[in-house]
Amino acid sequence: MRNRNIPSPYRPGAFHFTRAFIWLSTLIVTGIMIYFVVHLHSDGFKVPYAFLIILITCLLTLINLLLTTLLFARNSLRPIFSLSANVILLILWIISLAFLGYSMRGTLMTSCNVDSWGTSTGVMVCRVYKTLFSFIVVAAVFTFVHTIIDGVAKKDQRNLAVLAAYDSMNNN
């Protein structure tokens, strides 16, 4: 456990701002994915692998956010731990984005209207797909930004450790 007298290496504004967007986008993606999975399952369709990858990514992201929030609140979040977790999550978000983009390649470039989709339900599904894709992009971008923040905090942590060692020498 870290010494509570040593300040956190994270800059609070950027840290909380990026985490808020990751929380929000991940919760929206999770909600949309649950909606699709429930409807696919109730209609007797198999859940596509892309959806499973996205759901796993969402679940791991939410677990990571919860765990790192608790560690941050106790002032014991180590930047190297957060950096490692966020790099793994960034890779998963990019894979999710690639799978969804590949499976939706026809949907992303078409307009969501009755002429293209046949019914109002089809138009709604088109819009929800595009919303899903957009929020996966947001989650991936802010996870990338958070990895940069973790890298900066790791560097700042080294500087804080040197400063703490210097202070302890002066106090003796």
Residue with tokens 């339900």: 121
**Which pair of structure tokens corresponds to residue 96?**
């999710």
What is the residue extent of each domain of the chain? 12-171
Check residue 119 and give its pLDDT: 87
Query: What confidence tens digit (pLDDT) does each residue in 122-147 have?
Result: 889 889 999 999 999 999 999 999 99
Instruction: Note whether 94 and 88 are within 8 A (CB).
Output: no
Instruction: Note whether 50 and 100 are within 8 A (CB).
Output: yes
What single DSSP character describes residue 6? S
Tell me the Ramachandran region of residue 33: left when phi exceeds 0, alpha when psi lies from -120 to 50, beta otherwise.
alpha
What single DSSP character describes residue 56? H
Q: Is the pLDDT of residue 162 over 70?
A: no
Find the mean pLDDT for residues 162-169: 53
* Angle of the 120-171 helix axis to the 49-73 helix axis, nearest 10: 30
Query: What confidence tens digit (pLDDT) does each residue in 57-105 have?
Result: 999 999 999 999 999 888 888 989 999 999 999 999 999 999 999 988 8
Residue that wins the pLDDT comparison between 51 and 116: 51
Residue 146 CB burial class (10 angstroms; 0-12, 13-18, ≥19): buried
Check residue 27 and give its pLDDT: 97
The residues, any chain, with a CB within 8 Å of residue 79's CB and separated by 6 or more, are 9, 10, 150, 151, 153, 154, 157
Q: Could you tell me the end-to-end alpha-carbon distance of the chain, in angstroms, rounded to an integer?
A: 23
Instruction: Note whether 143 and 92 are within 8 A (CB).
Output: no
Mean pLDDT of the chain: 87
Check residue 55 and give its pLDDT: 96
